[in-house]
Every structure is written in structure tokens, then in C-alpha cells.
Structure 1
Amino acid sequence: MKKCLLSLFFCAAYFLVNAQVIRHHHYTTYYNVLKGEPDSVSWVLTPEMTSCGSVHRDDSFARDPDLQNSTLSDAYVKSGYDKGHLFPYADAQCDSADRIECLYMSNMLPQLHALNAGDWKTLETQEREWAATQEIRIIAGGFGSIGTLPSGVNIPESCWKAIYVDHHWRAWIMPNAKTSKGHPYPTWEVKDITRFDQITGLKL
């Protein structure tokens, strides 16, 4: 498959036969029914999506109505893991449909709180700073397994994100571990995009 530059769906060639592609208003999820979670989620973040200020978040997590076998909202209860957004609420808050759809479980990965509220959030904040002045393209997901939740949902070993910003791709991989907090966003950056492709299965 040819290398991607500006394709909305990023030529994510690793999608399994078990993956279902669901296009929501501002993001697309590639849901893996065997893992009970998305392989990845992709979206475009525009200046308009960062311009409305802070909107109250109603944590009404829900199964994805467009997926027959979507993970249920109680799948993470008492697991010790956060419902880790891929398409984050802060990117969704300017649109009422996005605010609902970003809380679908097909947009979540189990993340330790240290990662979810730590370095992952730091990178999310940075991507909105970039998007305040330019349209950027983002794809995020997880890989590997360190077990499953009691509900059977896979716990990824690491979470990753690729962003097309300033006319080139940048990429990060963060361990789903207690150590993924307190670092500036460049700490986990993978400078070799070819290596990042090999690890994640993408073709950026």
C-alpha cells in the first residue's frame, strides 16, 4: 500500500477481519470485536473545534449504538483502569453530537490513571495548541496486551498517537504504566516514522 499523506483514514492497513469501521460525526473508530475495544480512532482537528472554551462534561458513557456487539458502559467497573478516550472530550466539546459520541465505548481503551491524566493528557493539550492555528490529522490506538479486564476487554501494553502537523507526521508511544506521567510531550516521541509504522502496523 502506498504511503499516506493527507488521507483522512491514514491508510491504517493493519485492520483485522474482526474490525468494524464506524464513522461518527467527527471521528472514525476501527473497532475490534475480539478485543472489545478499537484498534484505532482517527479524526481531523480544526481551529473551530478548539475555539468554544470549556464546556461542562457529562460523563454519560454508553455502548456504541452503531455496533451490535459494542462494549457496555460498565465494562471497566472496579478494574482499576480509566475509560481512556482516544478522540478526547476536549476536542469534542464545541459540537453537541461530538460530546455524545466521544463517550461511546468504541472510543475507549483501558488506561491506567497515571497515563490517562498524565502524559497522554499532556499530548492532548499540545495537539489543541497546534490545532488553534491549523488543521491537524490524528490517529490514536493501542497495541499489545497485559491481560484483560474482568469483562474481557483487552488491556493494551502501550498507547500510541500519530499527528500530521506542520506538513509532516509526528508520532508517540506511551507505556500503559504508572511511569507515564510528569514528562513533557516530546519524551515519548518516536523520531523514526518507519519504526513507528513497524510497531503499530500503520503506513503513514
Structure 2
Amino acid sequence: MRLKQLFSLLALLVSAQSFAVESIDNCAVGCPTGGSTNVSIVRHAYTLNNNSSTKFANWVAYHITKDTLASGKTRSWKTDPVLDPQDTLAPADYTGANAALQVDRGHQAPLASLANVSDWESLNYLSNITPQKSALNQGSWAALEDQERKLIARADVSSVYTVTGPLYEREIGKLPGTSKPHTIPSGYWKVIFINSSPEVNHYAAFIFDQDTPRDADFCQFRTTVNEVEKRSGLILWAGLPDAVQDKLKSKPGVLPELMGCQN
């Protein structure tokens, strides 16, 4: 009888854990589809799709609220414990990268925007990191992340949903500290909408080249979701009706106006 009760308790625990993962929705209108069929990981901090060939995420989706922001958290880089070590990078693999390539360990889901979630330490897993040129990482990319935090501070904004990922359109080089096969991104894209859906709210799309100058204005990299899909090979907002997708994706969106961009 006790053994039967133990199995029942274990079944309940597994069920509860499964429900907890299923109840996390960092995309709201469907996570990206297409591209790699490699491992997807769902966490409170983000949802990502890992690519074992490039060693970086195909895409990372995250959800910022007024409760997720925090500062002062440490950057302790770690290999993602969920992934096979051969499918991702380790901290030592970045040895000498800054000197050789002028790259930082660039967060895809930003630490400052999500550091108050329960699994915030996973933001420093290298599955959420790419080698991003320092000028881009500390320049217009950081400015855009700051604008996401300014959006969530608005009284009329309850959620900021973002999905971001790499582009591989030319050879950039290799990390000098690793012999693992990998591909450094040549650029990045980011698609943002506020509140519950891009269908009824503001949205924006951006594409950045890896060699973007430090003083570049992020506003000049505005684009359409169609262009992001064309260049990334992914389908975004797949949970929306096709007619709605067609209408929204061909237009640049007006959210940049709330982010300080001029027409």
C-alpha cells in the first residue's frame, strides 16, 4: 500500500512539473517555427531553440513585466546543464575572443530586464549568449534593450514580448579558444510587441549587422517582420490567423515611435 502511495505521489510531482513548464509562455502569439529542429528549452527567464551545429540559439523569446526587472546580479558564465556539452559552448571556449575578434559575451535575453525571475541565473548560460562585437553589444543593441525597459515602465504597458536571434550571412571568424565546430553570427534580428498581441498593439522589428558602429542609432535598423523571416528562415507569430500575419508582417509597425524613433 505504501509503495502504491509513493508511486501516486511521484506521478503527481511529475504532473505538476510538466504543468509548470507548459504554463510558461514567453511568446504569447506562438514561438518561431522552422529552421533547426534541435532542442527547445522553456524557462521562466526565456524560451530558446538551440542549434547544435552553430552552437548558438536559433532564437530566444522572453517576456518582460514590471516584476522581472532587477539590477546588481552577477555574470557567472556556465554551460547550459540541459544541453549535451558538444551542442553548446563552455566558458573556456571564449578565451581570447575579445582580443582576437573584439567580441563580448552578448546576452540574447537581457540580464537586467529579467534578473528578478526565479531562474535568472540561466540568463548567464552560454545557450543564451553569442559572441557579439563589443561596439554593437555596448552600443545600439544595449540602447534597444534599454528602450524595452522604458516601455515596461509606462502605465499603459503591462508586458513586453521579444524574440531575437542570429543571422549567418557571411563568415565572421572563429573563436580562438575552442576546437569545437561553430559559426559566429554575422548579424542579429529582434522583434518586439507590447501587451497581449501585435494584432491590437504596437510592434517593431530590427536587423543589426555584427559590424554596426558603436555610436549608431538603433532606429536606423528598423525593418519588417517579413524581412526578418526572409533572412532568418523562421516563421514568427505563428499563433495568429494567416490573414492577420499577412497584414502585420509587411508593415514596419509603429512601436518605434514610443521608443524615441522619428519617422
Please indicate the TM-score interval, normalised by the length of the shorter structure.
0.7 to 0.9
Give SS of 1:49's match.
Answer: coil
Select 1:111's aligned residue among 100, 117, 132: 132
Say which structure is richer in helix: 2
Give SS of 1:160's match.
Answer: strand
Query: Where does residue 205 of structure 2 map in the other structure?
Result: 171
Query: Where does residue 215 of structure 2 map in the other structure?
Result: 182
- The Cα offsets for residues 15-53 of structure 1, whole Å up to 9 and x where unpaired, read as 313x21011222011110111111111011112223x5x
Q: Which amino acid in 2 is paired with 1:131?
A: I
Residue 160 (structure 1) aligned with residue 189 (structure 2): yes
Q: Let me know the Cα RMSD of the aligned residues.
A: 2.0
Structure 1, 165-174 or 126-135: larger mean CA deviation: 165-174
**Length-normalised TM-score, structure 1:** 0.86
The share of aligned pairs that are identical, in percent, is 27
Residue 146 (structure 1) aligned with residue 176 (structure 2): no
Query: Where does residue 32 of structure 2 map in the other structure?
Result: 12
CA distance in 2: counterparts of 1:64 and 1:9, whole angstroms: 26
* Contact 1:163/1:170 (<8 A) preserved: yes
Select 1:197's aligned residue among 229, 232, 235: 229
Structure 1 gap ranges (5+): 1-5
Deviation of the 1:9 alpha carbon:
6.9
- Deviating 4+ runs (over 3 angstroms): 6-11
Residue 83 (structure 1) aligned with residue 105 (structure 2): yes
Query: Where does residue 84 of structure 2 map in the other structure?
Result: 68
* Contact 1:41/1:140 (<8 A) preserved: yes
Q: Which amino acid in 2 is paired with 1:24?
A: R
Query: Where does residue 123 of structure 2 map in the other structure?
Result: 102
Q: What is the correspondence of 1:31-42 to structure 2 with a 5 Å cutoff?
A: 31-42=50-61
Query: Where does residue 151 of structure 2 map in the other structure?
Result: 130
Give SS of 2:192's match.
Answer: strand
Q: Which amino acid in 1 is paired with 2:190?
A: K
**Length-normalised TM-score, structure 2:** 0.67
Equivalent pairs counted in the alignment come to: 192
Select 2:141's aligned residue among 111, 115, 120: 120
Deviation of the 1:185 alpha carbon:
2.4
CA distance in 2: counterparts of 1:147 and 1:156, whole angstroms: 9
Select 2:72's aligned residue among 22, 46, 56: 56
Higher RCO (CA 8 Å, separation ≥ 6 residues): 1
CA distance in 1: counterparts of 2:152 and 2:109, whole angstroms: 14
CA distance in 1: counterparts of 2:118 and 2:91, whole angstroms: 20
Q: What is the correspondence of 1:15-26 to structure 2 with a 5 Å cutoff?
A: 15-17=35-37, 19-26=38-45
Q: Which amino acid in 2 is paired with 1:77?
A: T
Deviation of the 1:197 alpha carbon:
1.7
Relative to structure 1, is the Cα distance of residues 10 and 202 closer, same or farther in structure 2, using a 3 angstrom cutoff? Answer: farther
Give SS of 2:61's match.
Answer: strand
